[in-house]
Structure 1
Amino acid sequence: MTATILVVDDEPDLEALVLQKFRRKIRDGTVAFVFAHDGIEALASIEQHPHVDMVVSDINMPRMDGLSLLAKLQEAEDKKSTVIVSAYGDMSNIRTAMNRGAFDFLTKPIDFGDLEMTIDKTIRHVEAMREARRRQLEAERAHASLSRYFSPQIASRLAAVGDSDGMQVHWREIATIFTDISSFTSLVETVAPDVLGALLNEYVGGMTDVVFAHEGTVAKIIGDAIQVLFNAPGDQPDYARRAIACSHNLDIWAQAFRDRWKDKGVSFGATRIGVHAGPALVGNFGGSRFFDYTAYGDTINTAARLEAANKHLGTRICVSAAAADRAGNFQGRPVGDILLRGRSEPLRAFEPLQDVPFKATANAQYGEAFAKLEAGDVGAMPAFAALVGAHADDALAGFHLKRLLNGAKGARIQLD
């Protein structure tokens, strides 16, 4: 690298002396010099040569002195490291220069050996500052990219350590959430583009905030669908519990969002949520040019199919037994053994419940009715009928009653 040095001095012989003393370095390409005779000329020269690395400036010059030039250089966005040259006895000016941000000072008459050492020291400082700035910009760019996927805490940690093993594609135990909006296609076709843009941006932003509050990772946003991971990229021993708690809060936020837009005359569909836990292939799938942290595998597909199952069940959240078991102290009610598309074996699913509905009498009545359904007891139908009669808004109880009325038996559920 060639260091470019701007020398500002009105002495007529100085330019020739500098070029003579530094001729070898100039010939070797390690330094290059630009000259100006006062502060105004120096500022113009910097405009023409913005790559100037440092400035060596006398104080006493016509039109604009060195202290005024120093002040101008410190006001610029790209501050130039400046060495001030002054007579030995002019310590008050040297003190002023240092207080105004000068990097170092030299006394006149100039000792060229001292000048060379000062230039070398200043250039090392400039290079160190540039490297620090480069690292800072890289960290800021990394943080901006990572913030699309990770909570602020995780993004800051990942940006600080740079590339980590957690970004490499590998198999990992995770919990995953998949969300989708009912009747979204019809909404797209009926709502004005500017309204739809504001609607979807607010929705995705709010849902992402909820995910980040639980330190989840947003792996994908495809239109109205959101895929969330827990226990990736970092370890979260309570990952399944976080996923289920997050699903509750996503449901609460989405319901409030629907109500707000309903008051504005926009009918926004319900958000359906599927939660599953198991192994998945996780990492950056963006190659060398892009960053695309996501996950693939049967665990992800199952979460998506559990989300879709809500449409038939009448529920908004559907959690697999795998996620419920890993969470510990799970609160919810069994949906049944669902035969999901693409699977040969049924999967036990649950509707998670928060504390109040879980402890309510209606949940105990549902548990009794479901036990009869699972056992093939003929009393299942009247039990569900009584429950629906008392709680007409219980969509899951209504789903089972309809199945029984259509001749279905047991807790195994075949979805269309």
Structure 2
Amino acid sequence: MSADEITILAVDDLPQNLRLLDAVLSPRGYRVLTAASGEEALAMLPTAAADLVLLDILMPGIDGYEVCRRIRTTPGFEFLPVVMITASGEQEKVRAIEAGADDFVSKPFNQGELLARVASLARVKRYQDTIERQAAELAEWNAELESRVHAQVDELQRVNRLRRFLSPQLVDLIIDSGDETFLGSHRREIVVVFCDLRGFTPFAESSEPEEVMGVLSEYHAALGELIHRFEGTLERFTGDGLMVFFNDPLTVDDAAERAVTMAVAMRERVGALAEGWGRRGHDLALGIGIAQGFATLGRIGFEGRFDYAAIGSVTNLAARLCGAAGAGQILVAQRVFFATEGLAVGESMGALELRGFSRPIQAFDVTGIDESKVRLTP
């Protein structure tokens, strides 16, 4: 530690004493500030940046004891080293200690002793300043780390919310761009796929909960992989029911083709699972309905629990077609069937009377797909 880093505030009502202190300390590289009274010293203290105070005890007005007590009760200066300069005896030193003094120098002072005490206490002050600076830096680092952790937790929660209903490819795109404007309410034409298991209700009523959960786990895993592969948007799982739509938020020019191709792949996957379920005595099969039309889409819910949903008659139509489908059957609205441009292979079911619709709905039973026209393979 070099002396030129140290600022000393010398306080004495006698000018000759201040000149003497300055004459001793300044040549050693100390920066000396002087105050001729206790009041002046206290006024200077907030801006003086003093590392140590040399304080005479006997002064008119506020004496050294009172100055020391006020220093000790001033925020930020509680540990500022104070050296009392006294010509009195032990009783004065006791009072100085009670007032908060750190050390003493007797008048007339010995220059070597004064310099040694100043250097020792200034060193302690520098150590204290270093500790305080490091504590402040640590607090700042902790605050920054806490802020980063909160930001990362928020981002993780955001990503998890997106992954609940969007394909991984789209989630990655949103994360990279930081754009979530698509979550706002908007209107768009979509293709909706609704499916559930035939025979699930009696199965659930007659089976143990663990067995039901095991079947659902296999079922969801099989269908979930296909939803991601065909880049569909999963709106919800409701037990054995499942709703997916295409052309939002990721716009595609082959929404009907994707929906039908995915539905055929789903039927094959669940058909394979159903063989295993059948060996365990469970009679389950997949039914699917597909419809195309305009819907209002966007985020719904409340803080901490949001979903991305499609609202409109097209979702009801897909659900009603699914309800009308038999085991292993895919029923699609006429609009969907012809939108696949020959990809879908099937036969007309004629006009179906569906609950909630005032007019009959023309529907087709999709028996397969024309492999020569497939652009996306399951």
Q: Normalized against structure 2, the TM-score is what?
A: 0.59
Please name the residue that 1:367 is paired with: none
Amino acid at match of 1:184: F
User: Deviation of residue 291 (structure 1)?
Assistant: 0.9
Question: Is the Cα contact below 8 Å between 1:310 and 1:316 reproduced in 2?
Answer: yes
Q: Does 1:254 align with 2:270?
A: yes
**Per the alignment, do residues 135 and 286 of structure 1 end up closer, same or farther by CA in structure 2, a change over 3 Å counting?**
same
Q: Does 1:278 align with 2:312?
A: no
Please name the residue that 1:319 is paired with: 332
- Cα offsets for 1:353-374 (capped at 9, x unmatched): 223699xxxxxxxxxxxxxxxx
Amino acid at match of 2:365: E
Query: Which SS does the other structure have where 2:224 is aligned?
Result: helix
Cα distance in 1 for partners of 2:151, 2:338 equals 44
User: Deviation of residue 259 (structure 1)?
Assistant: 1.1
**Per the alignment, do residues 355 and 325 of structure 1 end up closer, same or farther by CA in structure 2, a change over 3 Å counting?**
closer
Please name the residue that 1:240 is paired with: 256
Query: Which SS does the other structure have where 1:266 is aligned?
Result: coil
Cα distance in 2 for partners of 1:269, 1:344 equals 31
In the alignment, structure 1 segments of 5+ residues that lack a partner are 1-15, 28-106, 359-416
Please name the residue that 1:134 is paired with: 150
Query: Which SS does the other structure have where 1:233 is aligned?
Result: coil
User: Deviation of residue 293 (structure 1)?
Assistant: 1.6
Question: Is the Cα contact below 8 Å between 1:177 and 1:227 reproduced in 2?
Answer: yes
Please name the residue that 1:350 is paired with: 364
Cα distance in 2 for partners of 1:232, 1:299 equals 14
The one of the two structures with greater contact order (alpha-carbon pairs below 8 A, sep at least 6) is 2
Query: Which SS does the other structure have where 2:164 is aligned?
Result: coil
Query: Which SS does the other structure have where 2:294 is aligned?
Result: strand
Amino acid at match of 2:339: R
Please name the residue that 1:330 is paired with: 343
Please name the residue that 1:67 is paired with: none
Please name the residue that 2:183 is paired with: 167
Cα distance in 2 for partners of 1:26, 1:149 equals 59
Q: 1:202 aligns with which of 218, 221, 224?
A: 218
Please name the residue that 1:220 is paired with: 236
User: Deviation of residue 300 (structure 1)?
Assistant: 0.4
User: Deviation of residue 298 (structure 1)?
Assistant: 0.7
Query: Which SS does the other structure have where 1:143 is aligned?
Result: helix
Amino acid at match of 1:193: P
Amino acid at match of 1:276: A
Question: Is the Cα contact below 8 Å between 1:146 and 1:159 reproduced in 2?
Answer: no
**Per the alignment, do residues 123 and 349 of structure 1 end up closer, same or farther by CA in structure 2, a change over 3 Å counting?**
same
Q: Does 1:340 align with 2:350?
A: no
- Cα offsets for 1:38-68 (capped at 9, x unmatched): xxxxxxxxxxxxxxxxxxxxxxxxxxxxxxx
User: Deviation of residue 119 (structure 1)?
Assistant: 5.9
Q: 1:230 aligns with which of 222, 246, 262?
A: 246
Question: Is the Cα contact below 8 Å between 1:142 and 1:159 reproduced in 2?
Answer: no
Q: Does 1:191 align with 2:204?
A: no
Please name the residue that 2:283 is paired with: 268
- Cα offsets for 1:9-50 (capped at 9, x unmatched): xxxxxxx99xx99x75699xxxxxxxxxxxxxxxxxxxxxxx
Cα distance in 2 for partners of 1:256, 1:286 equals 37
> Please, what is the CA RMSD of the aligned residues?
3.3
Question: Is the Cα contact below 8 Å between 1:177 and 1:228 reproduced in 2?
Answer: yes
Q: Report the more deviating stretch, 250-259 or 279-288.
A: 279-288
**Per the alignment, do residues 115 and 236 of structure 1 end up closer, same or farther by CA in structure 2, a change over 3 Å counting?**
farther
Cα distance in 2 for partners of 1:337, 1:286 equals 39
Instruction: Report the number of matched residues.
Output: 258
Amino acid at match of 1:238: D
Cα distance in 2 for partners of 1:329, 1:115 equals 78
Amino acid at match of 2:168: P
Amino acid at match of 2:313: D
**Per the alignment, do residues 161 and 125 of structure 1 end up closer, same or farther by CA in structure 2, a change over 3 Å counting?**
farther
Amino acid at match of 1:324: F
- Cα offsets for 1:357-406 (capped at 9, x unmatched): 99xxxxxxxxxxxxxxxxxxxxxxxxxxxxxxxxxxxxxxxxxxxxxxxx
Show the 5 A alignment for 1:297-312. Answer: 297-311=312-326
Q: Does 1:151 align with 2:167?
A: yes
Cα distance in 2 for partners of 1:338, 1:199 equals 34
User: Deviation of residue 203 (structure 1)?
Assistant: 1.2
Q: Normalized against structure 1, the TM-score is what?
A: 0.54
User: Deviation of residue 317 (structure 1)?
Assistant: 0.6
**Per the alignment, do residues 114 and 325 of structure 1 end up closer, same or farther by CA in structure 2, a change over 3 Å counting?**
farther
- Cα offsets for 1:106-155 (capped at 9, x unmatched): x9994777777666655544433332222211111222233222222323
Query: Which SS does the other structure have where 1:291 is aligned?
Result: strand
**Per the alignment, do residues 133 and 174 of structure 1 end up closer, same or farther by CA in structure 2, a change over 3 Å counting?**
same
- Cα offsets for 1:320-339 (capped at 9, x unmatched): 22223333342312324323
In the alignment, structure 2 segments of 5+ residues that lack a partner are 1-50, 53-70, 79-122, 374-378
- Cα offsets for 1:215-273 (capped at 9, x unmatched): 1122121121111111222323322221111111111111011012223x232311000
Amino acid at match of 2:322: E
Cα distance in 2 for partners of 1:203, 1:267 equals 13
- Cα offsets for 1:141-190 (capped at 9, x unmatched): 22223322222232344456567222123222111100011121111122
Query: Which SS does the other structure have where 2:166 is aligned?
Result: coil
